[in-house]
Chain A
Amino acid sequence: MADDVKPRVKVPKKAAAGETITIKTLISHKMESGQRKGKDGNLIPRSIINRFTAEFNGKSIIDVTLEAAISTNPYIEFDSIVPEEGEFKFTWYDDDGSVYDTSKKIAIG
């Protein structure tokens, strides 16, 4: 597991039924591209977040493939319709096999 990896998301606490809301997500991650050389002249192995997904009440709303050119601490912002109250689940997949997730509840009102 890479150092200092911490997922964070910003989701409104409540929304009107059917409303479109903006979700901001960020995970602190070094996103080592695999192209750089270390002080010893050898390549630093690639270590990136390669996939990000978000689900609402178990239903997929976004599924992103991330590549090596994406810079450190990837920030992803997107819109989603909120049909009912429920829970967003966000998942990040690391090259080294680690999986980080976090969830946020949203109420209707």
Chain B
Amino acid sequence: MKFKALTALSGVLAITAAGAVSADPDDDTLVINGEIEIVTKTAAPEHMEYIDEVMSGWHFRSDETQAFELDDFDNPGMLFVEQAMDVWDTVEGEKGKSCADCHEAVEDSMKGVRAVYPKYVESAGEVRTLEMQINDCRTNAMGAEAWKYDGDDITNMVALISSVSRGMPINVAIDGPAEMMWEQGKELYYTRTGQLELSCANCHEDSYGMMIRADHLSQGQINGFPAYRLKNAKLNSVHARFKGCVRDTRAETFAPGSPEFVALELYVASRGNGLSVEGPSVRN
């Protein structure tokens, strides 16, 4: 069985995470297909003041859920990556082009891309997410209709682009032209919203490793996105997750693709600098 690869050393961690409830992150290691080593724990990037070690949400899941990611055949998210692979080669739009016509093989042209997004795009003069870039390609380069920002088509495509960068360290730039947006994202992260008056930090910085009702609180890292969730059997995008979180604080949420969420994504992504690109991941 695959479970042999998972070393169940939760006892070791229980000592370090003093007093927390039984939702502590474990100490397993993640190697995909027996060859892609994923950094799931590492020293926190310098800009983070309150956390010493960042870790992937993978550590907060049960051994059974973790095992899904060990082999692409077992990872249900890869089904959607395969669908996106077909779309990659499909000609669409007035200009009669497919993704492959410009970008050729996705394994080569998109390697490393997921690791640096969101980033400031010089030609556009703004910070862009992968979704924005994809839609820019569709409307301008292909003459096709833009996809819905958090729809299945685009999320599957992001997953394909992410899958070819797995194992590479997240390295989002937070200085230079991106700095203003990053500051804005940081402010959002620490701003309490909704009737429950919760900020991102209340759960994912102050309380990770604890239970929130019946679920485990992770650090809210997005290195594993898009994430296949067992609860809805499809890939979920970063902004869809943000929306769910803000809604759970009982607030009116920002729209997926809004400048606020782009800023928040930039900031949250930068909190994972040093972790490996892991998406498509599998979560509850």
Contacts and interface: CB of A to CB of B under 8 A. Distances in A.
A26 to B, nearest CB: 7
A71 interface: yes
B2 to A, nearest CB: 10
Contact of B74 (A24, A28, A71, A72): A24
A73 B76 contact: yes
B73 A73 contact: no
B233 A26 contact: no
B73 A8 contact: yes
A26 B73 contact: yes
A10 interface: yes
Given A71-B233, A72-B233, A28 B79 contact: yes
Interface residues of A, number: 11
Nearest to A22: B1
Interface of B: 73-74, 76, 79, 82-83, 233
9 contacts: A6-B82, A10-B73, A26-B79, A28-B79, A71-B233, A73-B76, A73-B79, A73-B233, A75-B74
Given A4-B83, A73-B79, A24 B73 contact: yes
A24 B82 CA distance: 18
Interface in A1-35: 4, 6, 8, 10, 24, 26, 28
A88 to B, nearest CB: 16
Contacts of B82: 6
Nearest to B72: A10
Nearest to B83: A4
Interface in A59-109: 71-73, 75
A8 B81 CA distance: 14
Contacts of B76: 73
A71 B228 CA distance: 14
Contacts of A71: 233
Contacts of B74: 24, 75
A75 B82 CA distance: 17
B235 to A, nearest CB: 13
Given A6-B82, A28-B79, 9 more contacts: A4-B83, A24-B73, A24-B74, A26-B73, A71-B233, A72-B233, A73-B76, A73-B79, A73-B233
Nearest to B79: A28
A8 B233 CA distance: 18
A21 B82 CA distance: 26
A27 B74 CA distance: 12
Contacts of B73: 8, 10, 24, 26
Contacts of A4: 83
Contacts of A73: 76, 79, 233
Nearest to B82: A6
Query: Top 10 nearest A-B pairs by Cβ distance?
Result: A72-B233, A10-B73, A28-B79, A24-B73, A73-B76, A73-B79, A71-B233, A4-B83, A26-B73, A24-B74
A67 B209 CA distance: 38
Contacts of A6: 82
Contacts of A24: 73-74
A71 B82 CA distance: 20
A71 B76 CA distance: 12
Contacts of A75: 74
Contacts of A28: 79
A52 B74 CA distance: 18
A96 to B, nearest CB: 20
A4 B233 CA distance: 15
Contacts of A8: 73
Nearest to A24: B73
A73 B74 CA distance: 11
